[in-house]
Amino acid sequence: MESPQASAAAARTFEIPPHVPAELVRSIGLTDGPEFLAAPHVFMADLHNNQPRIFYNTSQHMPGSWLLTNYDDAYFVLRHPEIFTTAGATPFPRDPNNYFYFIPLEIDPPDHRKYRAILDPMLSPKSIALLEGKIRDMANGLIDQFIAKGECEFTKDFGRPLPVLVFLDLMGLPHHMLDTFVGWAMGLLHAQDRKIAETSMREACAYLATVIKEKAQQPDDGVISKIVHGAARRRGDDRPGDFRLHLLSVHRRPRHGVRDAQQHLPVAGRKSRTAARKSSIRRTTSTPSSKSCCGSTR
Amino acid sequence: VPLVTYIEDDGSRHPVEVADGDSVMQGAVNNMVAGIVGECGGGLACATCHCYVDADWIDKIEPPSETEREMLESTSSPRQTGSRLSCQISVGAALDGLVVRLPATQF
């Protein structure tokens, strides 16, 4: 945990609303502090002991937010969209004159369900299970590129490209976009620079606008094409035509639309998947009982 | 306190006292019953709390909503008679003795 002095210094650089009690203002270095980076599992577990049930976060990641450390409290928040909202919950920069929400993450119920109903069949446990063979092939392909060396830089050589390749396949996008998508994701999530993040977002938007046009003319089995063509529209919707039109009317800058859904897709799951993969391999290689199955890693 | 018995795919039985008002999913997750994941925490968004309600109990439970029926089409293990998402079954005195069987996998 950061020292009280460090917390106070962080708080000074961030305007704390007057209603926030001073004793609940904390800067804990969530996701970027040295203690988190050194041992994320321990860091998260210790939050229960070292922090109050609710505190006001001034860390670099999502400053100005209330953080909950108790399961029951978090469960209550998640189950009461009439009180709490996810609008604006993602930290990605957007043009205020052309603002859009990330779908479905930033859409509260009941509209949330409409978009989930489109995406769920394509991303459900059943659908993803069908991809297992293909994902294994991709993993083997990546391993083949460094197996002769006997070592790898795990994040760069495996942890980062695998989820991007899976994502590209799922979306119906070409594998040669791998490095470009990795660059956008890094710019949006890790550059810690607003201009870089804005440039990444702008470029991703422009690319996806082009892809949407292409998929409209040349349908395929990818998720983007299915959304564009409304093939997976909500079953039983009494206004399927309107619903599909709503999804496709990107040129009218709708509040929620197909572009919005796909704006989230360039980063969807890839940060968390990459982080999960890194964390799991780190834990595996640093736990004596698990090491024997890993061989030599770097 | 209502008693719910979870039967894993390998036949392991887990009788669990589930707090009144908690869901069958919460009863499993809070008591470390393997076979129920409940990845989304009960938001009807993941279909990883799939269970098969024992035939004797199917009619004693409120039928699934339209959204639950849609999500049941996305489960990894086959949908069968009695298939439900356990996050949508609220436990109360009327379900004391409920028996649910768990699928081989949720993914």
Across the A:B interface, residue pairs with CB atoms under 8 Å apart total 43
* ipTM entry: 0.74
> Cα(A93)–Cα(A76) distance, rounded to whole angstroms?
29
Do B2 and B92 form a contact (C-beta atoms < 8 A)? Answer: yes
Q: Is the pLDDT of residue A9 over 90?
A: no
Smallest Cβ–Cβ distance between A117 and the set B41, B70, B76 belongs to: B70
What are the phi and psi torsion angles at B50 (to 5°)?
A: -60, 135
Contact A120 B70 (CB under 8 A): yes
pLDDT range class, residue B105, cuts 50, 70, 90: very high
> Cα(B65)–Cα(A281) distance, rounded to whole angstroms?
40
For the ranges A10-19, A114-123, A151-160, B11-20, the lowest mean pLDDT is seen at A10-19
Tokens of A7: 């917390």
pLDDT range class, residue B93, cuts 50, 70, 90: very high
**Proportion of chain A above pLDDT 90, given as a percent:** 27
Do A272 and A280 form a contact (C-beta atoms < 8 A)? Answer: no
**Proportion of chain A above pLDDT 70, given as a percent:** 71
Question: What is the enclosing helix (H) or strand (E) of A65?
Answer: strand A65-68
Average pLDDT, chain B: 95
Q: Is the pLDDT of residue A279 over 90?
A: no
> Cα(A35)–Cα(A28) distance, rounded to whole angstroms?
9
Tokens of A268: 């969807």
Report the Cα–Cα distance between both ends of chain A, in Å, rounded.
Answer: 28
The pairing of strands B13-17 and A25-26 is unpaired
Do B31 and B57 form a contact (C-beta atoms < 8 A)? Answer: no
Contact B43 A78 (CB under 8 A): yes
pTM of the model: 0.70
User: What is the radius of gyration, based on Cα positions, of chain B?
Assistant: 12
For CA atoms A286, A291, A293, A298, give the dihedral sign. Answer: positive
pLDDT range class, residue B54, cuts 50, 70, 90: very high
Residue A272: what residue type?
S
Residue A101: what residue type?
Y
pLDDT range class, residue A285, cuts 50, 70, 90: low
Q: Is the pLDDT of residue A253 over 50?
A: no
Residues of chain B contacting A121 with CB distance shorter than 8 Å: 73-74
